[in-house]
Amino acid sequence: MKRMTLGVTLLLLPLLAAQTALAFCGFYVAKADTKLFNQASQVVLVRQEDKTVLTMANDFRGDPREFAIVVPVPTVLEREQIHVGDRATLQHLDAYSAPRLVEYFDPDPCAFKDYKARSELSARAPLPASPQGRADSLGVTIEARYTVGEYDILILSARESAGLETWLRDNGYRIPAGASAVLGSYLKQGMRFFVARVNLGEQAKLGFTYLRPLQVAYESPKFMLPIRLGMVNADGAQELFVYALTRKGRVETTNYRTVRLPSGMDLPAFVKAEFGPFYQAMFTQAVKRENMRAVFLEYAWDMGWCDPCAANPLSAEELRQL
């Protein structure tokens, strides 16, 4: 006899994988009238005491000559706190924590030797700034300015959202509808704004045809993932995969309920050939049942080992990169 067992994943050593209704950590600010919508994002959230490292990868639709990403941060970042990450490391983490279907064969009790075989399937395929004088008049301060890889970085603070919006518009950017209230809510919390401007011409010189992940590190007692700005780029449902890593314990959200997806279930053998569509349908039903008001736990496990593994655990060097 053989049985199929569904193994579902949220990597916490933890991983919180919220696949619908949440959003990227920041919003895209497009030049001219170009509309950019963020539909799927990956964020690695590493927390140790008061230190947080965020690695942000995302997709986008649209082909502007230039655009910027705006992300709230709790402190003014120094140059050495900002890096460009390796997409391959995030892909490995995604593969390691992906949902898997495991096939077990029960041994023949009368046979001389016992045999066990297992197979694993993944549900997902490996898969120019304005002068400071003008800024001052608007209540906007350029706290720092850096160049990191293909990104031009500004760290901004502002007294009010209207001044920040005006500053961005003065620099040729259009603000997504609905951003004003969200900007104001972060300003009230004393947040700064990390503006990463992408020069696609420079990106092409470096040989990349995609946005490389951006990584920022900072120390703050605030343990949060600012996702509200990303919602203003939404064009329907969005997917946000959060891989939260800690030395011990598991991360859960305080303003969303954490719902565990079904796991460890015996399934009919025919699901093996249709596991991808099956898992997608199962997740869609879970989202509908929770009315898009929950964070879904896909995988939680110790990075040191796994049974079974959808992919090998990350190496020590890969973990250091995060």
Q: Give the pLDDT confidence of 63-87 residue by residue, as tens digits.
A: 656 667 788 898 999 999 999 999 8
Q: Give the pLDDT confidence of 151-182 residue by residue, as tens digits.
A: 889 999 988 888 888 887 887 767 776 677 88
Domain ranges in the chain are 2-321
DSSP 8-state secondary structure symbol assigned to residue 228 = H
Q: Which of 32-36, 51-55, 281-285 has the lowest mean pLDDT?
A: 32-36
Q: Give the pLDDT confidence of 114-147 residue by residue, as tens digits.
A: 444 444 433 443 334 444 566 777 888 999 999 9
Distances (CA, A) of 277 to 4, 28, 152, 270: 16, 31, 41, 12
pLDDT at 28: 57
Mean pLDDT of the chain: 75
Mean of pLDDT values over 233-241? 69
With a cut of 80, say whether residue 108 has pLDDT above it.
no
Higher pLDDT, 22 or 177: 177
pLDDT at 65: 60
Give the DSSP per-residue string, 181-225. Answer: HHHHHHHHTT-EEEEEEEEHHHHHHTT-SSPPPEEEEEE-S----
